[in-house]
Amino acid sequence: MAAHAAAALQELCHALQLLAAGAKVTALDVSAPRLDRLEENLTRCGMHAETVVADALDWAPEAPFDAILLDAPCSATGTIRRHPDLTFVKGASGIKELVALQAALLDRALGWLKPGGRLVYATCSLLPEEGEAQITAALTRHPGLKITPITAPGLDPDWLTDSGCLRLRPDFWSERGGLDGFFVAVLQQGG
């Protein structure tokens, strides 16, 4: 039986990867046009996911999920090598609000997990307050929550934090043109 996973999606690839892995996917996003585009692409690929247009802070699932991918809204500082104008467009003024929103979304999504369920928290940010600090705070707020260290064949150990989260930086793979900056943590509820 396939796991039931929820994805707060910002990109089509997340849904496609989950579906290709055999998951039953519920895609939640506050943007109807973004989910319309997702449904068009899924249809083109011969795939189906339940789509829900709602604010994750207000919505509640009918049943808990085995796994959740929270692609959290962030500053996008990890894309600065491809978008050098980002610092002029965004500025630093909204970081506190983004961090508060990420924490609220993380708390909300953790409440949707089955006991023993896993949540993948991801941002395309280089800022520790949107990554490592966010996870440290969540661990404090949620007794029984733990980090599951990320492992994968060929994963460079330099890309992992001391706690086993993935931290990519633009200077990694510089000989290949570099990488975007990302932070990824896998969290598991006690169960």
List active site positions.
Answer: 124
Q: What are phi and psi of 132, to 5 degrees?
A: -55, -45
3-state SS assignment for residue 115: strand
**C-alpha dist (Å) from residue 85 to 80, 82, 91:** 8, 9, 10
Question: Rounded to whole angstroms, how far apart are CA atoms 135 and 186?
Answer: 10
CB 138 within 8 A of CB 187: yes
| Pairing state between β 4-8 and 24-29 | parallel
